[in-house]
Amino acid sequence: YIYVCHAPMARTWCTMPRVRRCTAYIALLAFLHQLPRFFDRTYMPLVIEWNGSPTEVCHLETSMWVHDYIGVDLYYTSYYLFRVLFVHLLPCIILVTLNILLFAAMRQAQERRKLLFRENRKKECKKLRETNCTTLMLIVVVSVFLLAEIPIAVVTAMHIVSSLIIEFLDYGLANICIMLTNFFLVFSYPINFGIYCGMSRQFRETFKEIFLGRLMAKKDSSTKYSIVNGARTCTNTNETVL
């Protein structure tokens, strides 16, 4: 959004050091948010009757520190409420807002492109067309993300309401919905990759440079060698071809 709608600010805000720092901060917050989940459950031995004989199995229970220091209801309510607000709801609201602003910017750019085309300013028109392609690509990618993320937020919010206020949620159906939404969320990553490859020439060139750089370099050096040395013929001579 900053790159498309506020290009001068992109030189200051959209730099690689800032991107790395923001990514590190987000990863750290995500790790701290999930850290208690590594210790909030414990497995206790339980003896049950299985095929007519007592069998010891494992029973999953909430850890004692949750009961003693926080409380089960407060702990899980705080966890899922934080998850709904800051993992699902707030990012979706921000993305929807930016999507609307990007769409409005694209409409304005289309009107400006028509004006430049009428004035026969082809160079600026071409630059504006590339910006429109970038904006459209961002809108498509964000829309795919929202289609995958909003159902998870809705199911999680329904789980909180069903646990605290009134029990109305069918958890068998909810688990199926969560499995389907998680599958679509994972499936959206190759979809986004296809969108980037199909709509961005710069992404394709960068991808080839990063992952196929050595192969392309060997191919280019082989091509240069053939051009310098020329075509060879299968004749038995002592002549050296230069």
Domain-embedded: residue 235? no
Domain-embedded: residue 226? no
84 and 194 co-located in one domain: yes
110 and 178 co-located in one domain: yes
48 and 83 co-located in one domain: no
Distance CA 63, CA 83 (A): 21
106 and 191 co-located in one domain: yes
83 and 186 co-located in one domain: yes
Domain-embedded: residue 225? no
Distance CA 81, CA 71 (A): 15
Q: Whole-model pTM?
A: 0.62
**74, two tokens:** 């407060």
At 43 the three-state DSSP class reads: strand
22 and 102 co-located in one domain: no
90 and 174 co-located in one domain: yes
Alpha carbon 148 to chain centroid, angstroms: 10
Query: Would you write out the chain's pLDDT as a tens digit for each of its 242 residues?
Result: 787 778 788 888 888 899 899 999 999 999 998 999 999 999 888 888 888 888 888 888 999 999 999 998 889 888 888 888 888 888 888 888 887 887 787 777 767 766 766 666 555 555 556 666 767 777 788 888 888 888 888 888 888 888 778 788 888 888 888 888 888 888 888 888 888 888 777 778 877 887 777 666 555 555 544 444 444 444 444 433 33
DSSP assignment of 99-118 equals HHHHHHHHHHHHHHHHHHHH
Range of the domain at 31: 1-35
